[in-house]
Structure 1
Amino acid sequence: MPQVLEFKLPDLGEGLTEAEIVRWLVEVGDVVAIDQPVVEVETAKAMVEVPCPYGGVVTARFGDEGSELPVGAPLLTVAVSVGADAGASEEGAGAASGSGSGSAGAGSGSGEVESSGNVLVGYGTGAPVARRRRVRPTAVAAAVPARVPVAPVVPVAAPDPVPDAVPGPVAVVSPLVRKLARQHDLDLRKLSGSGRDGLILRADVESAIRALAEGTSAPLPAGFAAPAAGAAPEPEAVPVSVASSAGRTVEGSAAQRIPLRGVRGAVADKLSRSRREIPDATCWVDADATELMAARAAMNSVAGPAAGPKVSVLALLARICTAALARFPELNSTVDLEAREIVRLPEVHLGFAAQTERGLVVPVVRDAQARNAESIGAEIARLTEAARAGRLTPAELTGGTFTLNNYGVFGVDGSTPIINHPEAAMLGVGRIVPKPWVYQGELAVRQVVQLSLTFDHRVCDGGTAGGFLRYIADCVEQPAVLLRTL
């Protein structure tokens, strides 16, 4: 007979501890194969499809789309067909699902449960691949009809951490339900659930929240004790006091609270750490980019068999950066605080800032020092497309040694970039616009761009930073300067 196994949210690597459910790829009652993707989650690094290590029938899902789960929390349960000698022992099921990453390979009973060691190939998977025996979906479907939910063996939930006079466990399984109750100061012990065997569902908590918000105008759910007179529920958005220019305090409207999580949370943590740890300084220069734009136009006008993909301005600037870093390797380094050492890195893994619907991400072009402008441009295009589609992997978002930030696409001239920790520098590029410029002793209209360099003052002094930025500007103004290094 089938054995119900629990699959937990696996360790996604890169130090990530939680993920948000974006889209379920299976329904309760579906038959899934080993390593079949069952859910799409979003972490602070990327969107990832999570494969299930078991083959069988999905009996339960934990978490709605949009909810956030910590690593190790139950994700779904699967009814797996085991041999007749397995005994369907609960001890075997517990051993199979006891791993914190959800990557158990087999049951511990006398029968063997088929599973895969690779819960999420390439991300946080350290378990060896178990010997695999294919489960025939027909056999599982015969034991558990497809599309029919099977009640899993649900362990009794631990008592709510909030002390209460009412003894006994709280009938709550979903971490989202507990979190929602905590946010609104609801005592789950006083709430009767509408689910099976009194299980408290999200709808029950939301109903209680609405009842508290409406006061006596709406009946409270059965079994829920109303707050004491004069007590008010804590709203998600609270009025804020704004100090006016005259020194008076003005009551503002309810403030909107937006959680710092996912990509925005990761960006906030990295920028805060950069400001705390790195003594940065910024220098900038205006450059005449007319010749660079003309060179790009000439490259892209080539026709016939020699014609390749179009070369972007960003690709040319990236190639200029790799040439400058070869001359000034101090800026392709990081600082080891514990050893009190500057570590100069042999390869240039060039990051570039990309704005997406999920927020700001920095994909990394690996080994940029070994690529020409055409190769860099092709890789930038590939990574940009993946970023906008949410398909970037954590490996494509980490490991950068220097970052290029083209904020000119936002229509601004200049900025003081914040260094992408733990790198040592970032080059910012403003918009390229026609401006009056003294050219060959006469006033002319030229294509002008502002370049800014923010650097870690621990790795170099202003002379090195100025030399690096001046070389960048010289290559922008006279692209032929690059011929010396090609």
Structure 2
Amino acid sequence: MPQVFEFRLPDLGEGLTEAEIVRWLVEVGDVVAIDQPVVEVETAKAMVEVPCPYGGVVTARFGEEGAELPVGAPLLTVAVGSQEPVTGQDPASGSSSGSRGATETEPASGNDSASGNVLVGYGTGAPAARRRRVRPASFSATATSTATATAPAPAPAPAKAPVEPPVPAAEEPRGPVAVISPLVRKLARQHGLDLRLVAGSGRDGLILRTDVESAIKVAEEEQVAAEAPAPRPAAGSASRQAGERIALRGVRGAVADKLARSRREIPDATCWVDADATELMAARAAMNKAGGSASAPKVSVLALLARICTAALARFPELNSTVDTEAREIVRLSEVHLGFAAQTERGLVVPVVRDAHSRNVESVGAEIARLTEVARTGKLTPADLTGGTFTLNNYGVFGVDGSTPIINHPEAAMLGVGRIVPKPWVHQGELAVRQVVQLSLTFDHRVCDGGTAGGFLRYVADCVEQPAVLLRTL
């Protein structure tokens, strides 16, 4: 007689106590193998496919899709018939319409009816069973009722699996693939992509999300090309829409790709504040007056703002970060490589001031001037344009007050600076004309919340209004 085992939601680690059912991967009546994923759940930190430690027939499921379950709550029950491992015999076939397929397994170490594993890849206590998926035409009602999904083979050599039809998009491709992330597997399933055909760019051939996205894009382009009707040019008419066409190539093309990726991947938000820059402008004038000779380099407003940014990032390091989407980790960076937006004839570029956190105002200003001149001549190298950790965007030079700029992927934030113009302002309790600037911060909401972003922006505004505040951090 078969035994019915109850499988409960396992401890998913990292202190997580509950999970939401996103999608069931099996139906009642399905035959499952040891360590076969049976449900996809979402925790506060990741999307996870949960494997069942028993091999047999699913007799019940607990919880609908969208339901939230605590750790230890029942997930499903499995009727386990034979305690002997399957070595080659296929499950019985019949006419049941509820089954989506069955599997055969090789012996698992220690216990053949259960693997002993809680969650594959999360500190399992025994090696996972090796499995080979077999999809018979159907599964008989007799096999379901008696739960005889596993039986000894008549010969020690495993039987060859029959030739299968193409794997549907809803199922995971068969065979071992170099994939760790459940999100990568889910993305491939959603687009019907066979991961065995994808070349991994990660370490030791690991397939990353970018590899899957690229493969999906190529497949979609091929499908569109195959379905597109042959052009039928008419006399006196153009085959494409009339108008001037400008190719997205070179710098402009690279910028277009990067900005599109930023909008696609980064959940950005923007906060802004008006600041009285009268004292900052006075401090700049005093610095330039004290510089000595007329030929001495002048301190620019951008250099002062850059130095203020590095001081603010020292107080709010969350904004000097990047997000590792594959590992689902925020990487806080110890060095500040400050990018600044520069408009050139070839398009928008963002040169990078290396080690800006270790430079004073004069050093930052000199490097900004050098890179700006190189950008104007079109001689910036890839090293000059890569590796930035935070960007300063002075769009005030275009005569505008504010903007919501797109974050320079893969950075986590950008400070925007509008024009500095005389405006009515309440100063020391009286209405006066002051030099006012609008500051805006666009940030990646994954790395911090509004409190941190607001604290950063407020500190920058305080330094603009009272430059002496910056002296505390020098």
TM-score (norm 2): 0.50
TM-score (norm 1): 0.49
Question: Larger C-alpha radius of gyration, 1 or 2?
Answer: 2
